[in-house]
Structure 1
Amino acid sequence: MPHRDIAECREAIRHGSRSFHAASHLLPKDVREAALALYAFCRLADDAVDLRDDKAAAVLRLRDRLDHIYDGTPIDAAADRAFSRVVHQYEMPKALPDALIEGLAWDATEREYETLSDLRAYSARVASAVGAMMCVIMKVRNGDALARACDMGVAMQLTNIARDVGEDARMGRVYLPLDWLAEEGIDKAAFLADPVATPAIRRLVARLLREAERLYLRSEAGIAALPVRCRPAIYACRHIYAAIGAEVARAGYDSISTRAHTSTGRKLALLAQSGVNAGATVLLGRQATLYANPLPEVAFLVEAAARRADRQTVADRVDRMMDLFAELERRDRGYPDPREQTPAE
């Protein structure tokens, strides 16, 4: 892979995804370069939507860029060129980056999540899809290992959501499950108007982090199914993200008046711990939890990465994606929502 493209990808990750940048130092060179290309494209995709006002148009442009990547004609950008090489070298199933863009489209349409299952479905797309692509880069197509990688992806995204409750609220967004808010008697509109770390909100943040921790623990069994030389880096991802949740807990689950982060010193300690954990997997072998069923919300990713997806499942997903992109086209062009129009007398 051209050095210049990888250098640009590395620089994008150094600024945009510091946790992964730290963990990536533990990957072997060939895997690290492909992973940097993957994460640079994912970072670019996320920023292209998050940092723009015309979010619907941004997602549509990403869809087109991904099509060019798979056609072997990427636009003249380092991340696109590098990711195109990864896609073709590792035979990356298109359903995986498609899932990521679908999740970004959900953001663009300001979708809300009624239940924890709905939130896991979102997390599957914006985070577990990346974990599944990392497995493909590590040449792991085993369904059990993929399921545990997807567990870790969901756990990481739930951690991000718990950390960013205040930041999201100030942008008019709530990612906490709406039925959880109802159980606590929290009025969503009132919370958005005046985000405060009330005892009820803190309980929801703690509840979300407990779910994340459950999935972090379950994901560890999958690390032993990865190539030995890749295990320290994946343990590092697990520990560094979980440490963000620990910082939220240390702040009394107040992620509104403060934003948790891990220090450089703490990251270095976790990198060392990850090497020890990875060494232990060689001695201890595989755990029974490796064989747990995948979360229902990530099953489509496991099937796609393992090359087991049946034609009907693929066709159904394509139909849903087409409907979603049609909705984005409508928003981008300013057309009225037909569901809100009154039939003519």
Structure 2
Amino acid sequence: MIDPDDLARCHEMIRHGSLSFHAASRLLPARVRNPAMALYAFCRVADDAVDLQAEKAAAVLRLQERLERVYAGRPDNAAPDRAFAQVVESFDMPRALPEALLEGLAWDAMGRRYRTLSELHAYSARVASAVGAMMCVLMRVRDPDALARACDLGVAMQLTNIARDVGEDALEGRLYLPLDWLDRAGIDPEAFLRDPRPTRALRKMVRDLVLQANRLYYRAEAGIGALPLSCRPGIYAARHIYAGIGGAVLASGCDSISSRARTTRAQKLWLLGVSAFRAGVTTCMPRSAVLYARPLPEVGFLIDAAAVSSPVWQREDTLFEALNALAARQRAERASLNRGSLRAS
């Protein structure tokens, strides 16, 4: 399905760029692991294309063009694009899912902040749950309840990332903590970004994020039993490795500014073993009623998209709004540069 050379390039990108996913993917069967590598490599390219560029608006607009070419069957001459195009064709990947990721990246490029936890869930749905839903598609799972639990796992992982990276994000001028949490603590966002400190109030917010993630990890577990048996160890591994990062955050006193929590290689190997064991146990257990829990309202559009088998999707107005805003920003930046050049001459 995927050119072996392109697949090798994707494996190498993930091995260096996403250690947690690379570790968890070792427990997936090859029929899922290989397209998953292509998927994650394309997502990694998309994330880096925005995160590492000074002109973030232009980077997102270029990504939109690349995605258009993937779905037109004319991918760019790059291993992740070619491999992802094969995945789109072979698995009938609904376009709503990668475009949701693109919208989340557009929000990042706009420097968007989130007033409430619900708004943060909406962002997490786009940059993480969309990937979880795409993983379900790769496993040939389109059941709405299983998709809801996959989306829970995605939001949980993103909340864990945010809790771990508060200090690192602040150094880059990024802030993902809900603004109403900061308001209640009497913390001015701009003052915090100028001088981020692990105050008691800040550490409580980090702890609350980890606890929110842990609640969703518990809900997500109920969906693993609805996956193909051969896929369960890998998804358990992803769940346990990311939750392990949250545990490391708690062990640090929720100080995500002075240091960055991580799991060691030995811990990852232990968690892989635990995951393989738990996947075997689930075959003997009755299906949990939590599987049928109501999905987070912020992920409903992903479930609706992935539960059908057609890649045809009408974009929501919110994506158009984000892309139009970025295009307007790009034009304004260029006009400002041109005026500066004229004054200098």
In the superposition, the TM-score normalised over structure 1's length comes to 0.94
For residues 139-150 of structure 1, what are the structure 2 equivalents within 5 Å?
139-150=140-151
Which residue of structure 2 lines up, in the alignment, with residue 326 of structure 1? Answer: 324
Please state whether the residue corresponding to 1:151 is helix, strand or coil.
helix
Q: Deviations over 1:14-63 (max 9, x none)?
A: 01110000011111111110000000000000000000000000000100
Aligned residue runs from structure 1 range 1-345, under 5 A: 1-307=2-308, 315=314, 317-334=315-332
Equivalent-residue separation in structure 2 for 1:287 and 1:296 (angstroms): 21
1:76 alignment partner, SS class: coil
Opposite residue 71 of structure 1, the aligned amino acid is A
In the alignment, the residues of structure 2 paired with residue 150 and residue 18 of structure 1 have an alpha-carbon distance, to the nearest angstrom, of 21
The answer to which structure, 1 or 2, has the higher relative contact order (CA under 8 A, 6+ apart) is 2
Query: Retained in 2: the 8 A contact 1:163–1:260?
Result: yes
Q: CA separation in 2, counterparts of 1:168 and 1:75?
A: 31
Paired amino acid for 1:320: T
Give the deviation of 1:308 after TM superposition: 8.7
AA of the residue aligned to 1:322: F
The structure-2 alpha-carbon separation of the partners of 1:335 and 1:51, relative to structure 1 and needing over 3 Å to count, comes to closer
Letter of the structure 1 residue corresponding to residue 34 of structure 2? E
Asked whether the equivalents of residues 330 and 336 of structure 1 are also in contact (C-alpha less than 8 Å), the reply is: no
TM-score, structure 2 as length reference: 0.94
Give the superposition deviation at 1:335: 6.2
SS at match of 2:230: helix
Shift of 1:336: 10
Residues 105-151 of structure 1 deviation map (CA, whole Å, 9 limit, x = unaligned): 00000111000000000000000000000000000000000000000
Q: Report the Cα distance in structure 1 between the residues aligned to 2:261 and 2:181, rounded to whole angstroms.
A: 22
Question: Structure 2: which 5+ runs fail to align?
Answer: 336-345
Match in the other structure for 2:340 = none
Specify every segment of 5 or more residues in structure 1 that has no aligned partner in the other structure, as ranges: 338-345
Q: CA deviation at 1:64?
A: 0.5
Output the CA distance in 2 between the equivalents of 1:186 and 1:149.
34
Q: Give distance in 2, aligned partners of 1:242 and 1:29.
A: 25
Post-superposition offset of 1:319: 2.3
For residues 269 and 90 of structure 2, what CA distance do their matches in structure 1 show?
32
Moved over 6 A (4+): none
Instruction: Give the aligned CA root-mean-square deviation in angstroms.
Output: 1.5
> What displacement does 1:291 show?
0.3
- Percentage identity across paired residues of the two chains: 61
